[in-house]
């Protein structure tokens, strides 16, 4: 029985079968059953949730993995949280291993910080706590008005490197951009390996110069009061791609938090091959692998892409045997158990730094 001694219940907010696999693994580890609920789409694509059992006064955990249809998954989570709130659940805790819209966490031109909007919507729907994994930016935790436990996948990926990559001692950890250097440095220090950083961008051919990126800025002659005169700033221009660090004759392991559009990873792999790396691995927490990513990986110099099961990607694995999966249901189940029992979460972050 799901409630028996435990006093908490676990529901899945997914309508797709592929997305409930992680929820099943977590509940198996916890020794409980998934709560009885029905999540489906009406004929006009409206989301409908029916909770089939009483949740009054209970602590509820909603497991929601995010498939390709991100917006539908968000609505499923919001509607289920609100349904549980109006059914008098005591606490509603969202287990969202990959937090959607996390890349839109900064203001860009006249855009919006969608991640902050989503945080406000989740609070309004009734969530009181969130368990997630490897947020794109740690500062996203500040968007929420309730506690957020940001778990790490690095121990599982490091274990994979140690157990599944032959001669990993001859490897070098690679950051595919300076922005990823902190994460890569953390992996390198834990594995006692060297570090390399890829910097710059591919140079445009003459046919690509028509986009105007190298044109001088227009200078407008103004009359009358011109206001405050700011100093002229030179436009940024990235240098040609260079690799800082020696990868010759080494296994190159690129680490990142998300692998979605694989173009950058494929380009990085080609550069590393040219510099003498004889095997190339990619380690990432969230394997979104959108569009034709499996085909590009299969045709590239990449030997293996290792991701966790925070996002369902079984179809992509069938298309590309180079994609491997690491199971992180253990740490998610332990987080649920500790929160329910009022135990410290510090154990799950033991020896893990902010940069992991």
Q: What percent of the chain has pLDDT over 70?
A: 90
Judgement on whether residues 135 and 163 belong to the same structural domain of the protein: no
308 with 330: CB under 8 angstroms?
A: no
Judgement on whether residues 134 and 41 belong to the same structural domain of the protein: yes
Judgement on whether residues 44 and 61 belong to the same structural domain of the protein: yes
As a whole number of angstroms, the distance between CA 65 and CA 288 comes to: 11
Judgement on whether residues 194 and 306 belong to the same structural domain of the protein: yes
What are 140-170's pLDDT values in tens digits?
999 999 999 999 999 999 999 999 999 999 9
Helices assigned H by DSSP within 308-347: 314-319, 329-341
At 233 the pLDDT is 76
Rounded to an integer, the average pLDDT of 50-74 is 93
Is 0.85 surpassed by the pTM of this model? yes
Residue 334 within a domain? no
Q: pLDDT category, 353, cuts 50, 70, 90?
A: low
Is a pLDDT exceeding 90 seen at residue 210?
no
At 355 the pLDDT is 67
Residue 356 within a domain? no
End-to-end CA separation in angstroms for the chain: 38
At 232 the pLDDT is 78
Rounded to an integer, the average pLDDT of 189-205 is 83
Judgement on whether residues 171 and 282 belong to the same structural domain of the protein: yes
More confident residue, 353 or 78: 78
Last residue within a domain, chosen from 117, 151, 185:
151
- Give the count of beta carbons closer than 10 Å to the beta carbon of residue 50: 11
At 242 the pLDDT is 86
131 with 334: CB under 8 angstroms?
A: no
Report the domain count for the chain: 2
Residue 86 within a domain? yes
As a whole number of angstroms, the distance between CA 275 and CA 260 comes to: 25
Pairing of strands 47-51, 91-96: unpaired
What are 2-60's pLDDT values in tens digits?
443 447 999 999 888 878 999 999 999 999 999 999 999 899 989 999 999 999 999 99
Is a pLDDT exceeding 90 seen at residue 279?
yes
Residue 226 within a domain? no
Residue 352 exposed, middle or buried by CB count within 10 Å (0-12, 13-18, 19+): middle
**Residue 256: which of 286, 278, 277, 279 has the closest Cα?**
286
Residue 72 within a domain? yes
Rounded to an integer, the average pLDDT of 200-214 is 53
85 with 126: CB under 8 angstroms?
A: yes
- Give the count of beta carbons closer than 10 Å to the beta carbon of residue 118: 22
The single-letter DSSP state of residue 200 is: S
Structural domain range at position 88:
8-151
Residue 223 within a domain? no
As a whole number of angstroms, the distance between CA 261 and CA 283 comes to: 15
Residue 71 phi/psi, 5-degree rounding, is -65, -35
Residue 132 within a domain? yes
Last residue within a domain, chosen from 134, 151, 168:
151
At 352 the pLDDT is 72
Judgement on whether residues 75 and 137 belong to the same structural domain of the protein: yes
The token duo for 102 is 């996390």
At 234 the pLDDT is 76
Judgement on whether residues 173 and 31 belong to the same structural domain of the protein: no
As a whole number of angstroms, the distance between CA 294 and CA 312 comes to: 14
Is a pLDDT exceeding 70 seen at residue 206?
no
The CATH code of the domain that includes 15 is 3.40.50.2020
What are 87-130's pLDDT values in tens digits?
999 999 999 999 999 999 988 888 899 999 999 999 999 999 99
Judgement on whether residues 69 and 109 belong to the same structural domain of the protein: yes
Judgement on whether residues 313 and 166 belong to the same structural domain of the protein: yes
Judgement on whether residues 175 and 265 belong to the same structural domain of the protein: yes
The single-letter DSSP state of residue 121 is: H
Q: Is 255 helix (H, G, I), strand (E, B) or coil?
A: strand
Judgement on whether residues 193 and 321 belong to the same structural domain of the protein: yes
Judgement on whether residues 171 and 99 belong to the same structural domain of the protein: no
Residue 340 within a domain? no
What are 223-264's pLDDT values in tens digits?
555 667 778 777 777 777 789 999 999 999 999 999 998 999
Q: Is 203 helix (H, G, I), strand (E, B) or coil?
A: coil
Phi-psi region of 212 (alpha: psi -120 to 50; beta: other; left: phi over 0): left
Last residue within a domain, chosen from 151, 175, 191:
151
């Amino acid at each position: 029985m799901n409630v028996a001694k435990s006093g908490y219940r676990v529901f899945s907010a997914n309508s797709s079968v592929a997305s409930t696999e992680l929820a099943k693994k977590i509940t198996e580890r916890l020794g409980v059953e998934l709560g009885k609920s029905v999540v489906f789409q009406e004929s006009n694509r409206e989301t409908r949730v029916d909770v089939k059992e009483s949740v009054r006064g209970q602590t509820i955990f909603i497991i929601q993995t995010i498939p390709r249809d991100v917006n539908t998954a968000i609505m499923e989570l919001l509607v289920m949280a609100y349904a549980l709130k109006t059914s008098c659940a005591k606490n509603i805790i969202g287990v969202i291993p990959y937090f959607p819209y996390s890349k839109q966490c900064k203001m860009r031109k006249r855009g919006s910080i969608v991640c902050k909007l989503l945080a406000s919507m989740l609070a309004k729907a009734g969530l009181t706590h969130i368990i997630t994994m490897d947020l794109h930016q740690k500062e996203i935790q500040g968007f929420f008005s309730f506690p957020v436990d940001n778990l790490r996948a690095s121990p599982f990926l490091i274990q994979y490197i140690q157990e599944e990559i032959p001669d990993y001692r001859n490897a070098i950890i690679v950051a595919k951009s300076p922005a990823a250097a902190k994460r890569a440095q953390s992996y390198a220090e834990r594995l006692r390996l060297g570090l390399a950083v890829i910097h710059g961008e591919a140079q445009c051919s003459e046919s690509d110069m028509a986009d105007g990126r190298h044109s001088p800025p227009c200078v407008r002659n103004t009359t009358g009061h011109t206001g405050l005169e700011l100093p002229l700033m030179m436009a940024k221009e990235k240098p040609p791609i260079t690799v800082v660090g020696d990868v010759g004759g080494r296994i190159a392991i690129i680490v990142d938090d998300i692998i979605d559009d694989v173009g950058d990873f494929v380009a990085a792999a080609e550069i590393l091959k040219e510099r003498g790396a004889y095997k190339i691995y990619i380690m990432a927490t969230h394997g979104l692998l959108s569009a034709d990513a499996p085909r590009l990986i299969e045709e590239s110099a990449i030997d293996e892409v290792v991701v966790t099961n925070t996002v369902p990607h079984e179809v992509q694995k069938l298309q590309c045997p180079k994609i491997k999966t690491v199971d992180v249901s253990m740490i998610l189940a332990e987080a649920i158990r500790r929160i329910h029992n009022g135990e410290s979460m510090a154990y799950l972050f033991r020896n893990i730094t902010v940069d992991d």
